[in-house]
Each structure stands twice: as structure tokens, then as C-alpha cells.
Amino acid sequence: MKNKKHRLILLGVSFFSIAGFAQQKKWSLQECVDYALKNNISIKLSELDVQTAAVAKSDAKMAFLPTANLQGSHSWNIGLNQNITTGLLENQTVQFTSIGGTVGVNIYNGLQSQNRFTRARLAAVASQYQLTKMQEDVGLNVANAYLQILFNKENLKVQQQQLDYDSKQMNRVQQLVDAGSVPQGDLLDVKATVATDTQNKIAAENALLLSKLSLAQLMQLENFLEFDTEDRDYPTDETGVMLRQAAEIYKKAKETRTEIKIAQQNLAVAEKDVTIARGAYQPTLQGFYSFTTRAAYADRVTGYQLDTNNPNSIIGYVDGTNQNVLSPNYVPVLGKHAPIWDQFDQNKGHSFGVQLSIPVFNGFSTRNNVERAKITLERTRITLQQQELTLEQNVYKAYTDAQGALNAYEAAKTTLAAREQAKEYARQRYEVGLINIFDYNQAQTLFVNAQSEVLRTKYDFIFKVKILEFYFGIPISPSIIQKN
């Protein structure tokens, strides 16, 4: 029994140690952004796009190098084939081996290789801007989700305080009812208020849990149940961006915003596409070199000997006498084929030269490609204009929203101060019996709502300022680096 008790104590200590360790980790906004930048799926996909653009740039760079290829073959010719020794058709099996190599180089192709390399370099920069834009969007979303957690934490505290206060109030009313000082209906009203407070607290807890889940999913954090943010109060008067004018912020945004840089880079790529398409009108000049050699496995003639079966052959007749003119009849002596490497050396051959190709007519495909490239160029030019207009609208909206959020926050604080005085006045009137418990609870509820509204407008203002700073070139996190 004693050992069992010790084991239970050790298990309890271990449990609370683990629980304490899990609770020690409280994530700051900076840590959340950094973690999301490393693990967010959308950012990983954008990083793959950057790698793909780097490979395309390497392809365009390597296009300046000559091409070289080696080839070889070995064949069996079975059946009726020409005997390469006698020149006669015979049923035989002959083997041949051939090897060779070719080298080609572009001397001139309308500068398309140079233009494609420039285009690939521009596209690589555009893909890097796309990655930066994705990082900025994720950072902004993380900041919004993080501030939502802070709001839900503060709101939960308000709801808990209200529940504690109304629970104490219920105990006091219970004592007054027992003493016969107040009617039973007041107690029922307070109990209903406590039940409502409990529901509000549960709703606040659920909202906090869901906001943690939302941020954890954005960060690709698996165990969101143990995830928590640090308890920090973000002041509302640390930034000087609210002292700027909207036109000044827009001017700075137009110079620094990533979406403008993306549109500008896409415009440069489209311009280069037009140049590449026009390059197809020009002639191309290519140089080439080829080397080939071969070897045969057929028998070869090693000499000649007199045909003993038919030593002489008639090659003509003497005029007048018709006497036969005889000649010794020699037949070839066949031997094994020559050594393979000797054949390769004896049969090698080289060829080289240049090839000029001048486009004359290709069904207007080159002209149509140029026209398509021009249309794309005009589309990207309009897109850049649209991006600038959209940026201007967003900056002025963000500026107006931040100003409105500040005014709403100031008004909410003024309302809270008034509601607090009204609540205190209602408490005093209730204690002397001038109002009933229902009216007092109404004043208390309005005070709690005013507290929640202050919290909501505070964090809404903080986020709106973050957006305004974002347009002014102040990143959500130093980890988001603008790459040019």
C-alpha cells in the first residue's frame, strides 16, 4: 500500500511537471509569424515556384552551349544480303557495328537565346516577388488571428468577472430573501442572470478555442490544444503612421509594395516575349560537325589461288582461227574479318559545315505569335495600371478605416466610463430600494457590453494600424525580407 501510494505521488508530480512544461511555452507574435513562414503550405508552394523559375533560368543559360551527342548501333542482317566481298546476293547473316558523334552550335538565331535568358532572369525575379507577397499575406493573416486570440482572452476575463460578480450578488440576494427583505422574484432574476453569464462565458471559451485553432492551422501547428499566446498588452499609441497623410502613405506604397513590383516585372517579361517572337522573323545560322565509323563482321578476301577444278577460263577468240584465248582462273581466298578496331580506324569519316535557314513563309505563325505577345503585353500594362488604382483605393480605405477605428475606440472608452458610473449609480439606488433587481441587472449588462466593445475596438484599431504600417513599408515581421 505504501509503495502504491509513492507511485501515485510520483505519477502526480510527473503529470504536473509535464503540464507545467506545456504551459510554459507562450508564443509571441514574432514567433508565430516566423513559424508560419517556415511551415505554411502556400509559402512552400511559392518556394517551389521560385525553384522552378531558377531551373528555367538555368535552361536558358545553358542554351548558349553547343550540343553534343554520341550514337552507336549494332545490327544483324539475316537472309538474302549482298556479299560485300564478292558483290553477290547470298543467304547469310552479316553483323555491322557503327558509332559516331555530332556537335552542333547556334551561331545566330535572331538573338533569341539572349532574349530568352533575359526573360528567364526577369521571371525568376517575379517569382521571388510572388514568394514575398505570399509571405506578407500570411504574416498579415497571422497578425490578425493573433490579435483575435488576445481579444478573446480579454473578453473571456470580462465574462468571468461578470459571472463571479453576479454569483456573489446571487448569494447576497439569497440572504436578503431568507431575511424577508426582498421578494423571491429578485432571486429568480439574479439566477437567470447568472445562467446567462455562464452561457456567455462558455461562448467566450469556445471563441478563444476556435481562434487558437484558426491560428494553429495557419501556422501548420498540429497540437493546437497546447498552443497559447503570450499575455501582452499592445499599446495603441506606439506608431507614428497615423500622423502621416494618406497621399504620403500611397506614394511610399507605390514605391515599395510587392504587388506593384510583381506587375512591373510581369510587364518586363511581356515586353521580352514580344522581342523573342519577333526574333523568329530573322534567319538562323548553325554550325555542325559529325564523325562516323563502322565495322563489319563478314569474311574478307585474303588472297587468290588457281581454281583446280576449272584452271582456265575462256576470255576471247582469235580472229580468223576462232582459237580460244585462255586465262588462268583464280578464285578469291576468304579469311576472317579484319580486326574491329582496325576497321574503325580505316572507315572513319568526318563532316562539318554550316546551315543557313531563312524563314520565307510559315502560314503566318510567326506573325500570329507576335500579335499574341503584343496582346499579352497590353494586358500586363493594363494590369499594372489596375494594380496601382487598387493600391490607391486600399491605402485610402486603410487610412479611413484606421481613423474610424481610432474614433470608435475613443468613443467606446467614453461609453465605458459612462456605463461604469451608471452601474455604480444603479447599485446605490438598488441598495436603498429605489429600483428593482431587473433594472440593476440591465445597468450591469450594459457595463459588461461596454467593456467588450472597448476590447473589440481596441484590437480592431491595432490591426487596422498594422495594415496601414504594412502599406507604408513596415513589415509585419522582420523575417519578411523584400528581395529585389
Question: Does 58 fall in a domain?
Answer: yes
Residue 16 has pLDDT above 70, yes or no: no
What pLDDT score does 15 carry?
Answer: 41
Question: Does 4 fall in a domain?
Answer: no
Q: Between residues 234 and 226, which one has the greater pLDDT?
A: 226
What pLDDT score does 301 carry?
Answer: 62
Residues 192 and 250 in one domain: yes
Q: Between residues 335 and 228, which one has the greater pLDDT?
A: 228
Distances (CA, A) of 23 to 16, 234, 348, 374, 462: 10, 22, 80, 60, 27
This prediction has a pTM of 0.75
What pLDDT score does 89 carry?
Answer: 67
What pLDDT score does 268 carry?
Answer: 95
Question: Does 311 fall in a domain?
Answer: yes
Grid cell digits, residue 21: 512544461
Residues 196 and 122 in one domain: yes
The whole-number average pLDDT for the span 152-166 is: 88
Average pLDDT of the chain, as a whole number: 84
**Residue 245 burial class via C-beta count within 10 angstroms: exposed 0-12, middle 13-18, buried 19 and up:** exposed
Q: Between residues 414 and 344, which one has the greater pLDDT?
A: 414
Residues 115 and 223 in one domain: yes
- CB burial of 199-217 (b: ≥16 within 10 Å; e: otherwise) equals ebbeebeebbeebbebbbe
Distances (CA, A) of 84 to 81, 94, 127, 222, 334: 9, 10, 62, 76, 12
Interatomic CA distance for residues 228 and 217, integer angstroms? 13
Residues 93 and 116 in one domain: no
Question: Does 192 fall in a domain?
Answer: yes
List beta partners, residue 324: 317
Residues 99 and 123 in one domain: no
Tally of domains in the chain: 3
Residue 51 has pLDDT above 90, yes or no: yes
Residues 167 and 198 in one domain: yes
Least confident window among 130-144, 304-318, 353-367, 395-409: 304-318
CB 146 within 8 A of CB 26: no
Residues 390 and 402 in one domain: yes
